[in-house]
Each structure stands twice: as C-alpha cells, then as structure tokens.
Amino acid sequence: MNTIEQRKKELGNLRPGPTIDEQVLNVFWEGVLKSHGDRPLRMVSKPEATPYPHMEVSRVAYHGYDDTPINAWHIAPADHSSKAEARPCVVTFPGYTGDRGFPERYAHWLMLGYAVFAVDVRGQGGETGNLLPLDNGVVKGWVSQGITDIHRSYYMAVAMDAVRAVDAASQQPGVDPDKIAVVGGSQGGGLSMLAGALNPKVAAVVADIPNMCRMDYGILYSVSSLNEIAQYIKRYPEQLDQILAHLAHFDMLNLAPRIQAPIMVSVGWKDTVCMPETIYAAYNRIEAAKEIRDYPFSGHEVGEYQKREGVLFLERVFNGR
C-alpha cells in the first residue's frame, strides 16, 4: 500500500462522534423549520437585460430568515418559454466573501438545458444586505455575529436563507420542483449540504470542498472563516463551551444523517481552509447515496476536472446518464 492509498484509508475510517445528541438536534431543527414553513417568501421578480441572446434572466428577491431581502438570479435558456416540459434547476451558493456574479457565470448549466437560481449570501460581496440585529461586538468578518444567541446568529440566518432559496427556486416559472439540485464550493458547499439536510425539496447535492464540517476541528486549524470564531474565543475564552454548543447545530458532522438526496463531495488533501479531516468526518456519516472525489495534490480550489464531474453527477441523477 503506497502513501496515497494509506491516506485514503485513514480518511475513509475517520469517524469522530457527533458533538450533539441526534434527537436533540432533530427536535431543534424541526421546530425551526415548522416555525418558518408558513412565512411568505414575498418574492419580487423582474426581467434583467443581458447581452447574451441565448439566456433569459430575471432579478429575484425573496425574504430570508428575517426581513432581509436575499437577491438572486433566475436564469433559463432563452427558448424556455416555448418549452412545455419543466426543467431541472441548479441552486448555487458562493464561497465566503463572494457573490452570485454575472449570469453568464452559469452558462454551462444552461447548455445542459437546466435553469439556475444563483443566490447571494447576506452581507458579503454581493448586493444583499443583512438586517440581523448587531447586539454584541464581532471580530473581522461575518460569522461571529450573534455567536452566543442561536436565534439571532449569522449561521442561523444563512442556514435558513439557503433553505428558503430552495423554496424560492421551486416556484420559478418552468422549474421542475422534483429536480432541484444545490451546488457550491467552500462556504457554498457547506450551505448546499445544509440545504440538503434541512429542505426535502432538494433532489441532489454537489458540495465541493465544503465548509461547516467538523467545525470544532476547523476552529483549531482552519485559516479562513472559522478562524474568525477562534479569534472571538481568544478574546472571550469563557464563552468556548457556549460557542461550541451553538456551532454544533450547524455542523454537517451532526446533520449529515439528515441528507436524503444523492450527493457528491470533493476534497483537496492540501486544503488548509476546509481540511480533509473535516470533510471526511461529515461525509462518512452520510447515509444517502454518495460519491466523493479526492484530489491529493489540490488545495482550496475546484478545478475544471471536478466541475465536469459535478455536471456528470447531476446528469446521472436527473437523466439516468
């Protein structure tokens, strides 16, 4: 057995225990989902001009966890209005600090005949604000906002924003509500997994180098967003246990068994942001049909090869190819 094979075996056998009781976690989320299930999305949609004649674009806003309007693109092939058959839809979430970008970023999905619902993450690099109350100080970044009050925290807000993004996508014209995939990398991968765990409308998940996996480990070792939590705890060490208990509710290590849809996950073994020890810990607890793609020589990146792997995975799920 060579070193790479040995490393693969070690990761495949990585099974740290959950950091919260499964029944407690499920009761918590069923209560949250029930309390928000009847809240109207209050969607507003208007056509958006584009220089590309083969796509139709609408600028959509829906209400997320609170009263924050979350901005998104609904993009479809330009001949969509003439097609009687509903299309699969890919819901996408950006990486940390990023945005949904221009609609042409998603042209490869349109070439497959899919629609796209591309979503901003509140307060970050897109056009979406953040109306959560800022009751306490935070360190640089976003994720430490409300870290000691789970119902007023940034993680709760972005989790429910993602859940409601799937609901909003399912109501777009021409979308097949039984063929909705959630796709993203890093933060976007973590939100895709969260949406897959919390919204039964999700039919497939592609989570590349996902964040929000084994978050206590990430606080110790990650150099990106979870390091913001580490810096907060450095300032307030007496809050460590309270913060770890908070994060356990959003940790895909704990939520993985709730995923029911087929899922593909990718992992870069040299990644210092979303480390393989975090991703495999969550992946190994997924009980649904699953595939993983290892990149032993990649860091925090999603290469063209993996982008095509994600496309092929969704084609297999949606079209049996």
Instruction: Kindly list the catalytic residues.
Output: 186, 271, 300
Q: How far does Cα 225 stand from its chain's mean position?
A: 14
List the one residue out of 161, 46, 183 whose CA is nearest residue 106. 183
Q: Is 155 annotated as a binding residue?
A: no
Those residues with Cβ within 8 angstroms of residue 146's Cβ, 6 or more apart along the chain or in another chain: 132, 133, 134, 135, 136, 152, 153, 154, 156
CA separation, residue 260 to residues 98, 194, 286 (Å): 28, 12, 9
Q: What is the DSSP letter of 17?
A: P
Instruction: List, in sequence order, every residue forming a beta bridge with 131; answer none if it has no partner.
Output: none
Is residue 286 a contact partner of residue 259, using CB atoms and an 8 Å limit?
yes
Q: Are 274 and 222 in contact (CB under 8 A)?
A: yes
CA distance 257 to 290: 12
Burial of 239 (0-12, 13-18, 19+ CB in 10 A): middle
Tokens 């009751």 belong to 135
Q: Which residues are annotated as a binding site for substrate?
A: 96
Q: Which residues are annotated as a binding site?
A: 96
